[in-house]
Amino acid sequence: MEPVRIPSIPAAAFPLPPRLEGLRRLAYNLHWAWHPRTRNLWSLIDRAAWNRYRNPVPVISGPTDWSRVLDDEKFLAEYQDTLAAFDAYMANGSGHWFERKHGDALGGPIAYFCAEYGIHESLGIYSGGLGVLAGDHMKSASDMALPFVGVGLLYRKGYFRQQIDADGHQEHGYPDYDLNRLPLARVQDRNGLPLSVTVELPGRDLTVAVWLAQVGRVPVLLLDTDVAENAVEDRPITHILYVRGREMRLHQELVLGIGGVRALRELGLAPAVWHLNEGHSAFLLAERAREFVASGASLDTALEQVRRNSVFTIHTPVAAGNERFDSDLVRRVAGPLLDRGGVPVERILDLGLGVDGDRGHFDMTAFSLRLTNGANAVSQLHSHTANATWQGVTDHPILGITNGVHGPSWVGTPVLELLTRDLGADLEAMDAGPRQDPFWERLGRIPSNDLWEAHLRQKRELALFAHGRLRNQLARHGEAPAVLAEIESVLDPSIMTIGFARRFATYKRSGLLFSDIDRLARLVWDADRPVQIVFAGKAHPADRPGQKVIQEIFQRSRSPEFRGRVFILENYDIRVGRFLVQGVDVWLNNPRRPLEASGTSGMKAAQNGVPNISILDGWWDEGYTGDNGWAIGGRETDPDDEAQDWADAQSLYGLLETELIPAWYDRDASGIPTRWVDAMRRSMATTLWRFSTTRMLLEYMEQLYLPAAGFQAIREAAEPTITEAG
C-alpha cells in the first residue's frame, strides 16, 4: 500500500534561486530531523542562522547571500547529492518488510492519534516521553514505508520553556511560535483551499484549521483553533500543551478526537485501523459511533463497529497520568454534540466508568479500553501492572509491547560512523525482521580504542554544550565573571559522569542520590576517582512537589559540598536529551517500582554505549541481562516507601563504590577501561534491535494493527461512506 499523501501549501511564501528550488522540499519535510547530512546543508548555507533556529525555514527564507552559495561548487554538489538521496527515499516505498510479508492486508492507512509529537526540538508541540515516543513512532513508520497518518494538535505556545532562578525555583515561559518560520504547511481541501473542519460546542460552532507536519513519508495532521473565524475566547483552545484548566483541557480533547476524525474524512481517508496513543483522543470513538448512527446503524451496532478496528496504548500506571473529567463537565460541554448526534452522553459516561465505580468522573482510559479491539502497555512489567489495574474494565488482555527508540535520531554521529564503517550497519533499514543482518552481534569487531574514542568525542560535545548552557544560566543569576570563568573547567571528560534526565515527578525519585549527603560528597570528590553528575528535567506547572525537587537539586549543585561536581541544566528538551544520552558515561534511573511504565531515555543511552544503572522497572526489568549494566535492588518492594527509598539508595551507593567507579577507572596500558568498554558493547548489543521502534512497530503490526484490520471484510458492509465531516 502506498504511503498517504496530503496536498498542502507551505505556511511561508518566499523566493529561492531556481537552481536551489529543491531546498524547499527538503526544508518542509522533517526527514532532516534524523539525517545529519541534510542538517549539515543548512549549516553550509548560513551557520549562524542554523545554530540560532535549529530549523531550516528561517535559514532559506532569508535574508541569505545566495550568490556566495551558487558560486560554491562543493556546496552545489552536496546539495544535488542530498536532494537526490531524499527524493529516492520518498519515491522508494517498495521492498520493505510490510510489503513483502503482508502486501495489501490493510484496506486503508493506520490513523495514529496522540496529544503530542516530539519530532525535533524546533517544533515545540511535545512535553516529554509520550511525545518523543510518538515522534519516533512516526519516523520508523516512515523508514518502514508503512501506510500511516498522524493526528495531533498544533500548540502555538507549545509546552513551557523552563528557567531556574537563582533560588532554584522553576519559572514557566510560553513562546509564541511564528508558524511562518516553522516547517509546517496548511492542508488543502479538494478545491485547493486551506482545509478547516467544524466541531460543535455549546452555543457555537468551532472552526478548526488543519496543518501538516510531513515526517518523511508520514503526514501528521495538526489541528489549530487560533483562526479568525473563532471567538477570541475560543482561539486559545489549542495554544498550550497540557493546559492546567480542566474545562480547557476537555475542549482540547474534543478538538483532537472529533476534529481529527472529521479532518481525515474531509481528505477522503478511511483508515483501516484507528490507534489511540493514550486516552487524550478518546472522543474519536464517540465521533465514529456518531457516523455509524447517522448512516442508519443502531447505537449498539455503531459501538461494536467502532470497537472492531480501534486499538489503544496505555502509557502509565500512575493515576495522574490517566485522564479523568468531572461527569457534569462532560455533560455540559460535550453532551449537546453527542446527544444531537444520536450518541447519548449518558451512554458515553457509562462506558467511561472507572475501576473505582465513581459516577462523578469520566475516565478516558476506561472508555478507551471498553471501545477498542486490542490494547497494549509499553513494557512487559507494565502489562502485568495494567492488567491488574484495569481488571473488569476490558474483556481482552492488555498486551505488552515494549517501547523502543528511533536509533537514527538518538545515536551520536561518532558512534554511528563506527557502526557503519566496521559493521555495515544501517539503523534506518532495520525492518527486515528475521531476514536482516544482526550486525549488533559483531560489535566485538570494533576495536576498543575506537569505541572509547568515539564515546569521548561525544562526551566532549556534551561538555561544550553544557558549558554554554550553564554560563548563560548563571549569568542570568548575576554570578561574578570569576564564577562564570570556572564553568570552562567543569564537566572534565576525564571524570566519570552520571546522567539523570526526565520529568521531575516525585515517584521518579530524582533526589535519591542525595539520601546520604556525606557519602555522596566522598564519592564525587574522591582524589583518585572523582564523579560528576548532570541532571535535567521539568516538572509540570501544577506539580509543586516536583518543582520542589528541582529546587533542592539546584541548591545542592551550588552548595560547598557539590559545587563543581553536580549540575542541573535548565529547559530540558530533545536537544538537551540528545547531548546527555550520547555524552554521559552511565545513565541513572531510580523510580519506585512498578510505577515506571517504560522509560525510553535509558534505551537511547544504551544504544550509544552508555550502560544503565537502574531500578528493575519499566523496560530495564526485561532489558537487564547481568552484563549490560547494573540493577539497583531487586524485584521485591517494601510497602513502606521510606524504607524502600533508603534500601535503594544504599544499593545505588554500593554499586557505584564497588563496581561502576572501579570499572570506569581501571585502565589498561593504553589507557582504555576494558571492563567498561565490554559493558558498553553489551549495552549496545542488547538494545540496538531489541529496543528499537522498528522492532516495536513490527509487534504493533502483527499483534494489534493486522488483527484489528482483520475485521475489514465484515466492516466493509457496515462502514458508512463518508465524504464530508458531519
DSSP string, 12-28: ------GGGTHHHHHHT
Q: Let me know how many helices (H) and strands (E) the chain has, helices first.
A: 32, 21
Predicted local distance difference test score (pLDDT) of residue 430: 84
Relative orientation angle of helices 448-476 and 413-423, to the nearest 10 degrees: 170
DSSP state, residue 435: G
Q: Determine the Cα–Cα distance for residues 18 and 180; give it in Å rounded to an integer.
A: 21
Q: Side-chain half-sphere of 231: how many Cα atoms within 13 Å? A: 7
Output the CA–CA distances (angstroms, integers) from residue 692 to 403, 461, 585, 639, 689, in the order listed: 8, 24, 21, 34, 5
**pTM higher than the cut 0.85:** yes
Predicted local distance difference test score (pLDDT) of residue 361: 97
Predicted local distance difference test score (pLDDT) of residue 432: 67
CA neighbor of 28 nearest in space, from 12, 17, 16: 12
What are the sequence ranges of the domains in the chain? 13-91, 103-404+699-718, 407-691
Output the CA–CA distances (angstroms, integers) from residue 512 to 301, 591, 614, 648, in the order listed: 52, 9, 12, 8
Residue pointed to by grid coordinates 484549521? 209
In b/e form, how buried is each residue of 631-656, taking b as 16+ CB within 10 angstroms?
bbbeeebeeeeeebbebbbebbbebb
Maximum Cα–Cα distance across the chain? 80
Q: What is the pLDDT of residues 642-669, one digit of tens each?
A: 999 999 999 999 999 999 999 999 999 9
Domain 407-691, architecture per CATH: 3-Layer(aba) Sandwich (3.40)
**Equal CATH topology for 103-404+699-718 and 407-691:** yes
The amino acid occupying position 184 is: L
Q: Are strands 310-313 and 324-326 parallel, antiparallel or unpaired?
A: unpaired
SS3 state of residue 594: coil
The amino acid occupying position 277 is: N
Q: Determine the Cα–Cα distance for residues 340 and 294; give it in Å rounded to an integer.
A: 11
Q: Determine the Cα–Cα distance for residues 273 and 312; give it in Å rounded to an integer.
A: 11
DSSP state, residue 592: P
SS3 state of residue 157: coil
Q: Which residues of the chain have pLDDT under 50?
A: 711-726
Residue pointed to by grid coordinates 486490542? 374
| C-beta separation of 587 from 605 below 8 A | yes
| C-beta separation of 593 from 635 below 8 A | yes
Domain 103-404+699-718 belongs in CATH node 3.60.15.10:
no
Predicted local distance difference test score (pLDDT) of residue 433: 62
Predicted local distance difference test score (pLDDT) of residue 714: 36
DSSP state, residue 188: B
Output the CA–CA distances (angstroms, integers) from residue 39 to 55, 419, 701, in the order listed: 9, 20, 31
C-alpha cell at 703: 499483534
Predicted local distance difference test score (pLDDT) of residue 97: 85
DSSP state, residue 657: I
Predicted local distance difference test score (pLDDT) of residue 319: 67
C-alpha cell at 49: 542562522
SS3 state of residue 399: strand
Give me the residues paired with residue 455 across strands: none
Give me the residues paired with residue 214 across strands: 29, 219
